[in-house]
Amino acid sequence: MTDINVSAPRASLPAFEEAEPLGPQDAEFVRDLAVVLAKHGNLNRFGLCLLHDHFPIAADEVLVETNDSRARTLQAHVEKAAGTQHIKASQWRFLPHAEGVRGGEPEGGTFQALMLCLTQDLCPGND
């Protein structure tokens, strides 16, 4: 496994049924976010996802994404973070951070990987 930040303490997330999706009240937030993404050349690189839990994931575990492009299926399962061969993060969450802390650092930082994907077979973009 690489130095992807998956081991930061995890704040609990709402269950999917309880998580509030984007709505009209979020229009200004989404416009502001799109402006920031465009400013940094990331408008077609990053988007939004609804943070939620379907089941508990321990601090030493990570959610792993695989797919079968021929069958057009996507699956996710849990693996131990220290033993996974899946090394490319595909989903992140923001973390509260101290002034001056930079993201991407293995300990601490401003974001935490939520889902990983193997960069070889069975991952998005690898037909």
Least confident of 41-55, 60-74, 96-110: 96-110
Least confident of 53-57, 63-67, 110-114: 110-114
- Sign for the pseudo-dihedral over CA of 86, 107, 57, 50: negative
Domain containing residue 123 = 54-127
Predicted local confidence at residue 98, as pLDDT: 46
**Distance set, CA 79 to CA 1, 60, 83, 105, 110 (Å):** 12, 9, 7, 21, 23
User: Could you read off the pLDDT of 23-61 as tens digits, one per residue?
Assistant: 999 999 999 999 999 999 999 999 999 989 889 888 888
**In contact, 7 and 108? CB cutoff 8 Å:** no
Q: 48 with 68, same domain?
A: no
The better pLDDT of the pair 31, 75 is held by: 31
Q: Which residue has the tokens 């130095």?
A: 3
Q: Rounded CA gap, 112 and 91, in Å?
A: 9
Assign 106 a pLDDT band (cuts: 50, 70, 90).
Answer: very low
Q: Which residue has the tokens 């699956």?
A: 75
Q: Which residue has the tokens 């601490």?
A: 108
Q: Examine residue 5 and state whether it is found in any structural domain, yes or no.
A: no
Element (H, E) at 90: strand 88-94
Task: Work out how many domains the chain is built from and give that number.
Answer: 2
Q: Rounded CA gap, 93 and 16, in Å?
A: 16
Q: 61 with 118, same domain?
A: yes
Q: Examine residue 6 and state whether it is found in any structural domain, yes or no.
A: no
Predicted local confidence at residue 97, as pLDDT: 59
Q: Examine residue 12 and state whether it is found in any structural domain, yes or no.
A: no
Q: 58 with 114, same domain?
A: yes
Q: Examine residue 89 and state whether it is found in any structural domain, yes or no.
A: yes
Predicted local confidence at residue 32, as pLDDT: 96
Q: What is the mean pLDDT of the chain?
A: 79
Predicted local confidence at residue 89, as pLDDT: 86
